[in-house]
Amino acid sequence: MKTYINVATLPPSSATPSARAEAEAIIGKCVHCGFCLATCPTYQLEQNELDSPRGRIYLIKSMLEGGPTSTQTQHYLDRCLTCRACETTCPSGVEYGRLIDIGRHVSEHRATRRPAQRVSRLFLRRLLLNRRLFTLLLTFARLARPFMPSALQRKIPVRWPSAWPTPRHTRQMLVLDGCVQPALAPSINAAAARVLDAVGITLVRVPKVRCCGALSQHLSAVDEAAAFARHNIDAWWPLLETGVEAIVMTASGCGVHVSEYGHLLRDDPLYAAKAARVSALTRDLSQVVAAEMPALRQALAAAPSSGLRTAFHSPCTLQHGQRLRGVVEPLLSAAGFELSAVAEPHLCCGSAGTYSILQPRYSARLRRRKIAALTLAAPNVIATANIGCLTQLQSGTALPVRHWIELLAERLPPIEPSSPSNIRTPRGDEQPAERRVLKQPNAATARD
């Protein structure tokens, strides 16, 4: 599919030679085969070509060539979840996730949104990216939770214990706190610290790190997303120089975005090299734990079988964005959980960042379909790997929905906790520790 991009119609960040070349290359790979239609959630719901990756590629191509860009164009681009299931299915290797970001940014530049839409999108960025404000509002909501209807109660996650182990290992890895996860579920990173402590790794928090930037990127605030990336790189860099092994992501949505920092900042002469290194060192938590399987089995040796039938929902950002499939399930099995079969495991749950707020009707339909698939085998608990999926699924079922690392941590012997303030952060003048290259499980790196 040949594309002739009209540079005059592009915003500055999309008019660079590398951005134009990328858009042309991605569109050029599409051979209109239609394989993507079978795995696209919105096409499955609507059976409308413009609600499919192939239809959206036509819209983006027309827009880049200078064709009309209307609010209707935005309407169809907004309805995409960016689940990237189409990338897993595509035989031609179309990088649709990158193209939809380009298309959204251009449409934001060329079409005027209704005032209500502009206000709601700005409000979400100001609320969700302000950790203190979000935590304060969530605290009030939790206080009022007992007085709410059950359906509304499920939208406010329960706060689980979140004690961290005392730092004691030479091997160290950094962890991203994220923007909403510390308030919604601080127990997730605490559980990750417990499990990694059991296999000989200390997990280190970096207080200055902020949001990964994914939310801004998908709301077409690309300059804001880039600013978040630069800020985080600056916060991590002194610690990376001391020899920490990896930057661990406990939310797969953050992980897929940070792993692309190198791509996002490729044209920035001051940050391109640093961003590439950060991307190279970024690991999903499942990769790290899977690489330590012998030590994990030893730590779990005394734990009896849990007896819990568990349905695992693999987030789109894990299985499609990062191409990590079949990595978490063996870890749960090793911890004594009985895994139940899940139908349509490739389909999105409808969370997709702010999608559940901005597209509530489609999000709710996808959630119902996903919960029906997850609960078909009558599990006792649902496990997942992303905070957005966790809150989305929990709002639609009475079954407990947990991060898989929390389930693993609960199988370990009790620990002597430390307060968050006692977690040691390496100093910039420390000598580099011995590095260890993480072994990548074959299932973790297999690409369809």
61 lies in the same domain as 197: no
Residue 443 forms part of a structural domain: no
Residue 241 forms part of a structural domain: yes
Query: What domain range includes position 127?
Result: 118-151
The pLDDT > 70 percentage for the chain reads 89
Which pLDDT value is given to residue 112?
Answer: 86
105 lies in the same domain as 130: no
Confidence at 423, pLDDT banded by 50, 70, 90: very low
398 lies in the same domain as 419: no
Which pLDDT value is given to residue 311?
Answer: 97
Which pLDDT value is given to residue 417?
Answer: 55
Please answer whether residues 317 and 296 qualify as being in contact, where contact means their C-beta atoms are separated by less than 8 angstroms.
no
282 lies in the same domain as 426: yes
Amino acid at 37: L
Q: State mean pLDDT over 108-113.
A: 86
Read off φ and ψ for residue 312, nearest 5 degrees: -100, 125
Give the Å distances, CA to CA, from 146 to 102, 181, 382.
Answer: 44, 22, 23
The whole-angstrom separation of Cα 294 and Cα 331 is: 11
Cα-Cα-Cα-Cα dihedral sign, residues 330, 332, 333, 339: negative
Please answer whether residues 79 and 49 qualify as being in contact, where contact means their C-beta atoms are separated by less than 8 angstroms.
no
The whole-angstrom separation of Cα 370 and Cα 367 is: 5
Residue 438 forms part of a structural domain: no
171 lies in the same domain as 268: yes
20-42 tens-digit pLDDT: 888 999 999 999 999 999 999 99
Look at the chain and count its residues: 448
Residue 156 forms part of a structural domain: no
Confidence at 441, pLDDT banded by 50, 70, 90: very low
Closest CA to 284 of 249, 253, 260, 314: 249
Q: Can you give the CATH number for the domain in which 62 is found?
A: 1.10.1060.10
Residue 448 forms part of a structural domain: no
169 lies in the same domain as 282: yes
Confidence at 284, pLDDT banded by 50, 70, 90: very high
Comparing 141 with 59, which gets the higher pLDDT? Answer: 59
301 lies in the same domain as 400: yes
Q: What is the tally of structural domains in the chain?
A: 4
Q: Can you give the CATH number for the domain in which 275 is found?
A: 1.20.1050
Residue 2 forms part of a structural domain: no
Please answer whether residues 127 and 35 qualify as being in contact, where contact means their C-beta atoms are separated by less than 8 angstroms.
no
Count the alpha carbons within 13 Å of 342 in the hemisphere toward its beta carbon: 26
Which pLDDT value is given to residue 153?
Answer: 79
Q: Which of 97-106, 181-190, 272-281 has the highest mean pLDDT?
A: 272-281
329 lies in the same domain as 305: yes
282 lies in the same domain as 179: yes
108 lies in the same domain as 136: no
168 lies in the same domain as 286: yes
6-16 tens-digit pLDDT: 656 667 666 67
